Amino acid sequence: MKYELVKGFKNERFRQVTGVNITTFNKMEEALGVNYAEVHKKHGRHRELSIEDMLLVMLEYYREYRTFDCIVASYGITKSNVCRTIQRVETVLIRCGLFRLSGKKALIAPETEVEAVLVDSTEIPIERPVKGQKKYCSGKKTTIR
């Protein structure tokens, strides 16, 4: 789905389709636009997708688990271009710092209480049926001379 179809949606519908609010999408778009202008200020090839479509490709890939083949069919670009687009967009958004998730250390802050649950996992012998072997046989093979 191209951005032209999605941009007229209301905030709730937009979030259902893309996974982010319109304001978050606009901030992501701004961060991508600044980075693209910085990287391509002197020269470079023109992009096949707009910045909004590049962002939508990445969001569709992560939100819907779409394959590259499905995205290629939707946007009319090559698989390698889809892969590069997703990698570039996620790299720019991570480096921007506004869209980074908090790490493991933030989850265990000093003011939060941690509740521990212990599970008893002692060894219990399992009764298995004997497979054609008599109880007095050790199972070792002996060589006859």
Q: Determine the pLDDT at residue 116.
A: 73
* pLDDT score for 98: 83
**Confidence (pLDDT) at 66:** 87
- Does residue 73 lie within any of the structural domains? yes
What pLDDT, in 10s, does the model give residues 62-114? 888 889 999 999 899 999 999 999 999 999 988 888 877 666 666 666 666 76
Looking at the structure of the chain, the number of domains it has is 1
Predicted model pTM: 0.66
Kindly tell me if the per-residue pLDDT of 129 is higher than 70: no
Does residue 145 carry a pLDDT above 80? no
More confident residue, 134 or 75: 75
Range of the domain at 51: 3-101
**Could you write out the DSSP letters of every residue in 11-66?**
HHHHHHHHSS-HHHHHHHHHHHHHHHHHHTSS--PPPSS-HHHHHHHHHHHHHH--
- In a domain, residue 88? The reply is yes
Residue 16 domain-assigned? Answer: yes
Residues 82/71, Cβ–Cβ less than 8 Å = yes
Q: Is residue 143 in a domain?
A: no
Q: Which two tokens stand for residue 83?
A: 């892969």
User: Does residue 115 form part of some domain?
Assistant: no
d(CA 55, CA 31): 11
Tens-digit pLDDT profile for residues 5-44: 888 889 889 888 888 889 989 999 999 999 888 887 777 7
Within-domain flag for 10: yes
